[in-house]
């Protein structure tokens, strides 16, 4: 390698290092706040959702499927459905008579798309079944675990 090409290569390394140190974390910050924002829209029914009840292939009306309709209260006793908060989802709790369990991204998405909880118990029919993409599900998870 010539001295000139060594210098050119060095410049490329420096530019790449600056990008990794400065730009990457900033981009991740933007991504995570966009993800939380998408999660908020899905939660509050402002994002188109397709859902049905178990064993029933009729699509539920748009205004019925936003999570907030049933999971609107943070207080379990006052709510039609369990609170979707980090405290409830991430702490070991007995759910539906099963052993203590907590959620992670994978189990949360399984609840939404398949209707089965972290211990394998099938949820009540009142909880709709959705068809979320990985991105939508991760966005919802970011939103509810930030509460
Ligand atoms: C029509 C009412 C309704 C809507 C809309 C609804 N849910 Fe539910 N959801 C329920 C009910 C009722 C349960 C409790 C089911 C049970 O205990 O068997 C539940 C349970 C859950 C659980 C399991 C919580 C636990 O106990 O571990 C999660 C997670 C959940 N819902 C997420 C969502 C999300 C996210 C949305 C919106 C995309 C949503 N739900 C929309 C009624 C609803």
The tens place of each residue's pLDDT in the chain, 147 residues long, gives 566 667 777 676 655 555 555 555 555 677 889 999 999 999 999 999 999 999 999 999 999 999 999 998 767 667 789 999 999 999 999 999 999 999 999 999 999 999 999 999 999 999 999 999 999 999 999 999 998
Scanning the structure block, which residue is given the tokens 């939660």? 43
Q: Please give the pLDDT value at position 7.
A: 75
Among protein residues, the one with the nearest Cα to ligand 1's atom 2 is 70
Residue 89 to residue 132: CA distance in whole angstroms: 19
Q: Please give the pLDDT value at position 24.
A: 55
97-99-102 Cα angle (round to 5): 105
Verify whether ligand 1 is closer than 6 Å to residue 81 (CB atom): yes
Q: Please give the pLDDT value at position 5.
A: 65
Q: Please give the pLDDT value at position 21.
A: 53
Verify whether ligand 1 is closer than 6 Å to residue 39 (CB atom): no
Contact 39, 133 (CB under 8 A): no
State the distance from the centre of ligand 1 to the C-alpha of 83, rounded, in angstroms: 9
């Amino acid at each position: 390698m010539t001295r000139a090409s060594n210098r050119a290569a060095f410049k490329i390394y420096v530019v790449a290092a600056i990008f990794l140190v400065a730009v990457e974390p900033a981009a991740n910050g933007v991504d995570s706040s966009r993800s939380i924002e998408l999660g908020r829209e899905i939660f509050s029914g402002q994002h188109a959702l397709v859902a049905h009840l178990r064993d029933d292939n009729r699509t539920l009306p748009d205004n019925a499927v936003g999570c907030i309709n049933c999971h609107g209260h943070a207080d379990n006793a006052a709510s039609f459905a369990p609170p979707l908060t980090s405290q409830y989802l991430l702490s070991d709790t007995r759910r539906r008579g099963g052993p203590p369990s907590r959620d992670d991204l994978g189990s949360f998405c399984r609840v939404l798309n398949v209707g089965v909880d972290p211990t394998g118990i099938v949820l009540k029919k009142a909880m709709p079944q959705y068809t979320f993409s990985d991105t939508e599900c991760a966005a919802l998870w970011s939103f509810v675990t930030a509460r």
